[in-house]
């Protein structure tokens, strides 16, 4: 299996991901997405939006602000309980998550009776002390304490008159606070959902694992509203689980053998949730959450209504019955989807590294080359093909080095097809099309190229 180090190396070498502020030594748990990464992210968002918003008649989209009224986060419980268990190295003062420290220790000292997710913060402290667990630097650890993950900021210019705000810790609350607006301005009826893709921020304790856990992240969240007296929540829950699984396996091309469902235990599950599952993927560093789904009852709308004084109820247009809808929430991390598809696609062969991405995800669909760069007649012909294909596809141009090196470069960024203009092209008006995965080549008339690729991309 590919290692995380190999993924990181490829990402920087081929322009997928760079360390943020690299020239200043970087910033903890922060990354920028380069030209290839920006395209892959964009394709992920587009495919997700099409599958869960455009292709469904019971869904609408939203784009809410990053900065919301601070009472939003009081109502949601984030100000009071959006915490991680923090321990500190007694000598270096480096901070770690207590549960992650215990999990790392358990990999060397397996104990199937220990369920870290079920531990309270006091129990974590007792376990660390009883087993004399030390920090990665080999030093004693402090007792665990709670650490709030919300980023706090200020609104205003005059010191003393500034209002406290928070960078949102999740995108979901913008959906709940807009529930009334959405119902009043759109012809939606229960059951219906609202989807959103956007940035969230978490003051993470832990570092490492590349883009899996970062302080700035992108989420794709859905809140699916329904009347529990009319719709069976378990049927809706199962339907959403199936939709999530199908999206990852069919739309993103991930092997089912690398996926699993993990149900939260009663102790781990949030107090307002009746059921919660994680869809886990087998990353290079183990099984980790990719996508979560929870039945959150009417907790969120009730809390926001209570703290704001607004009426967030729904009136059935047929019966006139007034209710606070219940909600099922599937929430995915776009950055984790990104890391998953790179991990899944990374293939080491004898003479090359190739990213066998689903072609709909690939940053470029086609690359166009002249066989020899310094031959004007070949370059001119290839440029014409490049310009024409670019009208309907994302296309790369490359005339550097020899043809073999160009193929290898496109293999590493996952370009499905390469088009080469050679001397025969000047005679027969056809080109050589090379397939990324098989390396097989076939001759295609220039006039049929667009139709050829469009058929492949269906």
Average pLDDT of the chain to the nearest whole number: 92
Residues in contact with 48: Cβ distance below 8 Å, sequence separation at least 6, in sequence order: 197, 220, 247, 332, 334, 337
Burial of 140: CB neighbours in 10 Å, binned 0-12, 13-18, 19+: middle
Put simply, whether the predicted model's pTM sits higher than 0.85 gets the answer yes
Q: What is the pLDDT of residues 25-70, one digit of tens each?
A: 999 889 999 999 999 999 999 999 999 999 999 999 999 999 999 9
Task: Identify the H or E element spanning 377.
Answer: helix 376-389
Confidence of residue 240 (pLDDT cuts 50, 70, 90): very high
**Three-point CA angle 121, 123, 126, nearest 5°:** 115
Percent of the chain having pLDDT more than 90?
72
C-alpha to C-alpha distance for 383 and 400, rounded to whole angstroms: 14
pLDDT 10s digits, 127-151: 898 898 888 888 888 888 877 778 8
Residue 81 has pLDDT above 80, yes or no: no
How do residues 147-186 score in pLDDT, each as one tens digit?
Answer: 777 888 888 866 766 788 999 999 999 999 999 999 999 9
Mean pLDDT of 357-376: 94
Identify the sign of the CA torsion 110, 115, 117, 119.
negative
Instruction: Count CA atoms closer than 13 A to 437's CA, side-chain side.
Output: 8
Q: The tokens 């012809």 sit on which residue? A: 187
> Residue 126 pLDDT more than 90?
no
Q: What is the pLDDT of residue 296?
A: 95
Cα distance between residue 152 and residue 143, in whole Å: 25
Hey, what's the torsion of the CAs at 160, 163, 164, 165, to 10 degrees? -150
What's the pLDDT score for residue 207?
Answer: 62
């Amino acid at each position: 299996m590919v290692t995380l180090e190999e993924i990181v190396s490829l990402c920087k070498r081929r322009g997928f991901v760079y360390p943020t502020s690299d020239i200043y030594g970087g910033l903890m748990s922060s990354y920028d997405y380069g030209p290839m990464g920006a395209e892959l992210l964009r394709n992920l968002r587009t495919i997700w939006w099409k599958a869960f918003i455009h292709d469904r008649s019971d869904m609408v989209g939203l784009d809410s602000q990053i900065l919301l009224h601070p009472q939003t986060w009081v109502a949601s419980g984030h100000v009071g309980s959006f915490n991680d268990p923090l321990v500190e190295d007694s000598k270096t003062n480096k901070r770690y998550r207590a549960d992650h420290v215990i999990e790392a220790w358990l990999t060397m000292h397996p104990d199937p009776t220990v369920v870290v997710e079920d531990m309270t913060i006091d129990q974590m402290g007792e376990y660390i002390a009883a087993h004399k667990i030390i920090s990665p630097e080999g030093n004693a650890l402090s007792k665990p304490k709670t650490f709030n993950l919300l980023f706090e900021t200020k609104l205003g210019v005059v010191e003393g008159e500034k209002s406290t705000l928070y960078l949102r810790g999740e995108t979901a609350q913008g959906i709940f606070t807009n529930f009334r607006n959405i119902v009043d301005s759109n012809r939606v009826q229960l059951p219906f959902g609202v989807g959103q893709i956007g940035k969230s921020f978490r003051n993470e304790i832990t570092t490492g694992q590349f883009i899996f856990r970062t302080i700035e992240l992108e989420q794709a969240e859905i809140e699916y509203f329904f009347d529990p007296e009319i719709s069976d929540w378990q049927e809706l829950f199962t339907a959403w689980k199936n939709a999530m699984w199908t999206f990852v396996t069919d739309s993103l091309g991930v092997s089912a053998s690398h996926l699993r469902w993990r149900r939260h235990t009663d102790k781990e599950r949030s107090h307002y949730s009746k059921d919660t599952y994680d869809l886990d993927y087998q990353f290079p560093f183990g099984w980790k959450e990719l996508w979560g789904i929870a039945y959150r009852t009417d907790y969120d709308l009730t809390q926001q209504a209570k703290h704001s004084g607004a009426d967030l109820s729904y009136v059935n247009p047929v019966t006139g019955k007034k209710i606070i809808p219940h909600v099922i929430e599937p929430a995915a991390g776009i950055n984790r989807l990104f890391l998953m598809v790179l991990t899944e696609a990374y293939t080491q062969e004898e003479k090359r590294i190739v990213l066998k991405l689903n072609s709909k995800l690939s940053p470029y669909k086609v690359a166009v080359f002249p066989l020899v760069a310094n031959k004007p007649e070949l370059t001119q012909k290839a440029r014409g093909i490049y310009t024409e294909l670019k009208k309907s596809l994302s296309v790369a141009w490359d005339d550097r080095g020899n043809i073999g090196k160009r193929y290898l470069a496109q293999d590493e960024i996952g370009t499905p097809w390469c088009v080469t203009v050679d001397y025969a092209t000047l005679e027969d008006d056809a080109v050589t099309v090379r397939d990324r995965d098989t390396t097989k080549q076939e001759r295609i008339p220039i006039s049929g190229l667009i139709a050829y690729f469009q058929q492949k991309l269906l």
